Homo-oligomer: A and B are copies of this chain.
Amino acid sequence: MALAAGARGPVRALLLAGAGLARRAAGGGGDGARRFSSQRVLVEPDPAAGVAVMRFKNPPVNSLSLQFLTEFVISLEKLENDKGFRGVVLTSDCPSVFSAGLDLTEMCGRNPAHYAEYWKAVQELWLRLYLSNLVLVAAINGACPAGGCLMALTCDYRVMADNPKYTIGLNETQLGIVAPFWFKDTLVNTVGHRVAEQALQLGLLFPPAEALRVGLVDRVVPEDQVQSTALSVMAQWMAIPEHARQLTKRLMRKATADHLLRQRDADVQNFVSFVSRDSIQKSLQAYLKRLRQKKG
């Protein structure tokens, strides 16, 4: 209870800080179903089932820009507060990519205040997802590195497409950066300490079969069955008495969330001073340049 209240404060601050953005993102009125959707997050509600599908639509790779994060958290909060919905499937509207993770352009060539705002929004995304009262099922229909993997790991269940071109993992070290401790905690809770230690140090990206073997995902199915499988898994989870399931989820996850909540400001400061370093800025800029050349 204290925890939920604690999480709510900062999010409200975040939303107020980006209020113009939020208003734009949320739109003004419309019918019940459409009012959930924003530019970057399509919400397809199925009120009869009490389930909504949230589709990430931030082309080309669903990177977690500040605007995407803001719209996502607003859409999620609406579903949390609507008693008609008890489960959400997270999936991608972009071909071949679930989410590429953090948006490097938010971390590059900006000022410290921007870095801080951005990092708070990433923290907020994780806190909202990890402690969500909704049943969350990830329908992983594309590549799922770094922050994309983090979003999948916050879900209660992960279904992945059986396409060996798609991989999943926290590959931060491959880019020369370090996954924050709460990314690490989330991974350890999912695959255990030893698999996490090796995967994080090497920045491993697991193809579906390997991801299943180490427990990074729970089921691998043909690509065209990812969403239907996610929905049938959802039905199993929704059959459980609601309040008991929510309290049990909190029982499992509260200590991990508290770990971040206790040092949220320090974690922001740590991020800001890290990305502000010349060496990091240079390597991020070089990396972005290579990305742009690839596309061009």
A residues lining the B interface (CB < 8 Å): 156-157, 172-179, 181, 184, 188-194, 196-198, 200-203, 215, 218, 236-237, 240-241, 243-245, 247-249, 251-253
The docked-state distance in angstroms from the alpha carbon of A241 to that of B188 is 22
Apart from A156-B197, A172-B244, A191-B194: 18 A-B pairs, beta carbons within 8 A: A156-B198, A156-B201, A173-B240, A173-B241, A174-B241, A175-B241, A176-B244, A178-B247, A179-B248, A188-B193, A190-B193, A192-B192, A193-B252, A200-B251, A200-B252, A201-B245, A201-B248, A202-B245
10 sampled A-B residue pairs with Cβ under 8 A: A172-B244, A172-B248, A173-B240, A173-B244, A178-B247, A178-B251, A193-B252, A194-B215, A197-B249, A200-B248
The 5 closest A-B pairs by CB, nearest first: A176-B241, A173-B244, A197-B252, A178-B247, A189-B193
Smallest distance from the beta carbon of A48 to chain B beta carbons, Å? 23
The docked-state distance in angstroms from the alpha carbon of A245 to that of B218 is 28
- Do the beta carbons of B252 and A184 come within 8 Å of each other? yes
Smallest distance from the beta carbon of A93 to chain B beta carbons, Å? 28
- Enumerate chain B residues within 8 angstroms of A179, measured Cβ to Cβ: 248, 251
Smallest distance from the beta carbon of A138 to chain B beta carbons, Å? 14
Smallest distance from the beta carbon of A245 to chain B beta carbons, Å? 5
Smallest distance from the beta carbon of A86 to chain B beta carbons, Å? 13
- Do the beta carbons of B203 and A197 come within 8 Å of each other? no
Q: A198-B157, A203-B240, A240-B202 are in contact. Are A173 and B248 (CB under 8 A)?
A: yes
Smallest distance from the beta carbon of A197 to chain B beta carbons, Å? 5
- Enumerate chain B residues within 8 angstroms of A249, measured Cβ to Cβ: 197, 201
The docked-state distance in angstroms from the alpha carbon of A172 to that of B245 is 9
The docked-state distance in angstroms from the alpha carbon of A189 to that of B192 is 8
- Do the beta carbons of B203 and A194 come within 8 Å of each other? no
Q: Which residue of B lies closest to A196 (CB)?
A: B252
- Enumerate chain B residues within 8 angstroms of A172, measured Cβ to Cβ: 244, 248
- Enumerate chain B residues within 8 angstroms of A156, measured Cβ to Cβ: 197-198, 201
- Do the beta carbons of A237 and B193 come within 8 Å of each other? no
Q: Which residue of B lies closest to A157 (CB)?
A: B198
Q: Which residue of B lies closest to A215 (CB)?
A: B194
- Enumerate chain B residues within 8 angstroms of A198, measured Cβ to Cβ: 156-157, 218
For A172, A200, A218, which residue has the most chain B Cβ atoms within 10 angstroms? Answer: A200
Smallest distance from the beta carbon of A130 to chain B beta carbons, Å? 11
- Enumerate chain B residues within 8 angstroms of A175, measured Cβ to Cβ: 241, 244
Smallest distance from the beta carbon of A259 to chain B beta carbons, Å? 11
- Enumerate chain B residues within 8 angstroms of A191, measured Cβ to Cβ: 194
- Do the beta carbons of B252 and A202 come within 8 Å of each other? no
Q: Which residue of B lies closest to A244 (CB)?
A: B173
